[in-house]
């Protein structure tokens, strides 16, 4: 298990000499300690990235693509080991952790294919006086700040296109899950990524780290996944240097079930949309709007499905929901549930933290949740499903859109035209129409409104890590 900082291809202790404890959320106990990066370490990582980047940018796209393909294979070959690390530091069930490694690796395979397809254009100016050449060089050095809910995939979703486009990166993984990030850094070097291109510097002092790194003259871009609140702060600071940004921020997804839907399919989709990766995803269904004629049937079947969830440590057989990341997360989820109940919701299932070691919350279903309850406006990030009945389609859409977030939405109906019309009216970057999962490396992942800026994945994702240069010329 790697516990030092990865800077310029070398492993070193932090210049401040301190460490960060890594906690197993299933027990609440510390099981490892990693080097705690300082602002000086962040700057050293930026220096290393700046030195390595020009040669990499000059490497033929086919060669870069082949390195990315080797990274895909390397991660796939280390699925068991990486998945176990994720379970230890993040807590999710082992099957979800394995799924995360497959998802993480796929970003490398997809972007290996995109790397050789970065396009340019050539055309005649409208005046006919000259040619216009447009091409896409890499941005340069990219800062990446990643979250703990997907310790591997939220790194590779940024890293693979950044490398494919010819950039070098400095990663600040979350202090909760640094081990997966450090091991990925090591594996990528073994796969042939040149030293200095991928630097991994965990820290417990994120603000100081970022303040130093953002002012490094070589840094030209910030790619962040995390909460909208933190995203706003980073954007303000990135504005000081007019950095290019890609921001994947919070969600508050409505999950709409019309009375004409296949209710069994809707329940199955709801379980995926709510409970995938222990309900700690920004795409998670946050508010279930169910048409009044179907609300009894949906509530009963969905509650029965939620009651079958087995919570426990991610390594235990049959566990389908692990712990939350820490005690604060448990307290936050519980506060939202208490607030909803105070505002008139009834509890169909669960409704409280689980006693004993670790940070567990009971799978919970609430009914008749008020639109103005805090839970309807907050990203829950826990296994709690609020159900809201509706009769008026337009009012339901108004409520669904009455949030500053716009990442994901879900719609269930047998009427495809109604489903498409409703999807278009929901202000969200991604819609699951009769599907409970939207994430795919080949699709543009990202939000509208305060859920973010830019897109990750698909053909768009790699261009986020490129500049556009236009050359006016004659011949």
Task: Output the six-digit token pair for 437.
Answer: 């999962």
Cβ 186 vs Cβ 201: under 8 Å: no
Cβ 431 vs Cβ 269: under 8 Å: no
DSSP annotation string for 281-306: -TTSEEEEEEEHHHHHHHHHHHHHHH
Q: Shortest gap between Cβ of 446 and ligand SIN (angstroms)?
A: 10
- Per annotation, catalytic residue among 100, 114, 176, 248: 248
Question: Which residue of the chain is nearest ligand SIN when measured via CB?
Answer: 439
Q: Shortest gap between Cβ of 282 and ligand SIN (angstroms)?
A: 4
Q: Shortest gap between Cβ of 174 and ligand SIN (angstroms)?
A: 12
State the DSSP code for 362. Answer: -
State the DSSP code for 19. Answer: E
- In the complex with ligand SIN, the residue whose CB is nearer, 42 or 154, is 154
Q: Which residues bind ligand SIN (CB under 6 A)?
A: 149-150, 154, 225, 281-283, 439
- In the complex with ligand SIN, the residue whose CB is nearer, 439 or 459, is 439
Whole-angstrom distance, CA of residue 252 vs CA of residue 255? 10
- In the complex with ligand SIN, the residue whose CB is nearer, 56 or 445, is 445
Give the CA count within 13 Å in the CB-facing half-sphere of 79. 17
Whole-angstrom distance, CA of residue 287 vs CA of residue 276? 15
Q: Residue 253: what are its φ and ψ, rounded to 5°? A: -70, 130
Cβ 228 vs Cβ 450: under 8 Å: yes
Q: Shortest gap between Cβ of 225 and ligand SIN (angstroms)?
A: 5
Q: Does 46 qualify as catalytic in the annotation? A: no
> Which of 319, 341, 332 has its CA nearest to residue 275?
319
- In the complex with ligand SIN, the residue whose CB is nearer, 265 or 443, is 443
Q: Does 248 qualify as catalytic in the annotation? A: yes
Give the CA count within 13 Å in the CB-facing half-sphere of 368. 9
Q: Shortest gap between Cβ of 177 and ligand SIN (angstroms)?
A: 13
Whole-angstrom distance, CA of residue 372 vs CA of residue 340? 9
249: three-class secondary structure by DSSP: coil
CA distances from 438 to 25, 136, 155, 417, 444 (A): 27, 29, 19, 19, 10
DSSP H helices, 203-242, are: 206-214, 228-239
* Beta strand ranges found along 294-396 (DSSP E): 346-349, 364-367, 384-390
- Per annotation, catalytic residue among 46, 114, 280, 282: 282
**C-alpha triplet 36, 40, 46: angle, nearest 5°:** 105
- In the complex with ligand SIN, the residue whose CB is nearer, 152 or 201, is 152
Length of the chain: 475
- In the complex with ligand SIN, the residue whose CB is nearer, 189 or 225, is 225
- In the complex with ligand SIN, the residue whose CB is nearer, 278 or 423, is 278
Q: Shortest gap between Cβ of 150 and ligand SIN (angstroms)?
A: 6
Q: Shortest gap between Cβ of 394 and ligand SIN (angstroms)?
A: 30
- In the complex with ligand SIN, the residue whose CB is nearer, 282 or 290, is 282
Q: Shortest gap between Cβ of 60 and ligand SIN (angstroms)?
A: 31
Which residues fall within 8 angstroms of residue 383, CB to CB, at 6 or more apart?
A: 274, 275, 278, 279, 306, 309, 311, 321, 350, 361, 362, 363, 364
Q: What is the set of active-site residues?
A: 248, 282
């Amino acid at each position: 298990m790697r516990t030092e900082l990865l800077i310029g291809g070398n492993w070193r202790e932090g210049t401040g000499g301190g460490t960060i404890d890594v906690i197993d959320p299933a027990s609440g106990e510390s099981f490892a300690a990693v080097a705690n990066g300082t602002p000086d370490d962040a700057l050293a990582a930026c220096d290393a990235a700046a030195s390595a980047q020009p040669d990499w940018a000059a490497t033929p796209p086919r060669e870069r693509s082949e390195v990315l393909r080797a990274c895909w294979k390397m991660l796939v070959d280390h699925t068991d080991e990486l998945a176990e690390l994720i379970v230890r530091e993040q807590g999710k069930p082992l099957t979800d952790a394995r799924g995360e490694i497959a998802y993480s690796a796929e970003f490398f395979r997809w972007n290996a294919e995109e790397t050789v397809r970065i396009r340019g254009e050539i055309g005649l100016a409208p005046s006919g006086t000259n040619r216009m050449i447009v091409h896409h060089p890499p941005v340069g050095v990219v800062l990446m700040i990643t979250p703990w809910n997907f310790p591997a995939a939220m790194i590779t979703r940024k890293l693979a296109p950044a490398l494919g486009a010819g950039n070098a990166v400095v990663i600040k993984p979350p202090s909760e899950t640094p081990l997966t990030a450090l091991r990925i850094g090591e594996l990528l070097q073994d796969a042939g990524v040149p030293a200095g291109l991928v630097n991994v510097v965990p820290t417990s002092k994120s603000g100081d780290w970022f303040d130093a790194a953002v002012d490094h003259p070589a840094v030209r871009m910030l790619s962040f996944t995390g909460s909208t609140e933190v995203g706003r702060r980073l954007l303000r600071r990135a504005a000081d240097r007019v950095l290019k940004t890609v921001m994947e921020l919070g969600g508050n997804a409505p999950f709409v079930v019309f009375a004409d839907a296949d209710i069994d399919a809707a329940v199955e989709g709801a379980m995926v949309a709510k409970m995938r990766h222990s309900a700690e995803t920004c795409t998670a269904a946050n508010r279930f709007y169910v048409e009044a004629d179907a609300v009894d049937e949906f509530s009963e079947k969905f509650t029965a499905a939620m009651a079958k969830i087995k919570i426990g440590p991610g390594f235990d057989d049959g566990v389908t929901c692990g712990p939350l990341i820490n005690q604060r997360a448990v307290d936050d989820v519980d506060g939202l549930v208490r607030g909803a109940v105070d505002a008139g919701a009834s509890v169909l299932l669960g409704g409280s933290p689980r006693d004993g070691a670790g940070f567990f919350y009971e799978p919970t279903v609430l009914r008749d949740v008020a639109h103005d309850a805090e839970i309807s406006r907050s990203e829950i990030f826990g296994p709690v499903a609020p159900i809201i009945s509706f009769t008026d389609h337009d009012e339901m859409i108004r409520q669904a859109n009455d949030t500053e977030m716009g990442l994901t939405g879900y719609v269930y109906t047998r009427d495809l035209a109604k489903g498409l019309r409703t999807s278009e009216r929901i202000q969200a970057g991604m819609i699951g129409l009769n599907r409970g999962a939207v994430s795919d490396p080949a699709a543009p992942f990202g939000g509208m409104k305060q859920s973010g800026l830019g897109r990750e994945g698909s053909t768009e994702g790699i261009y986020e890590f490129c500049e556009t240069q236009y050359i006016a010329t004659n011949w």
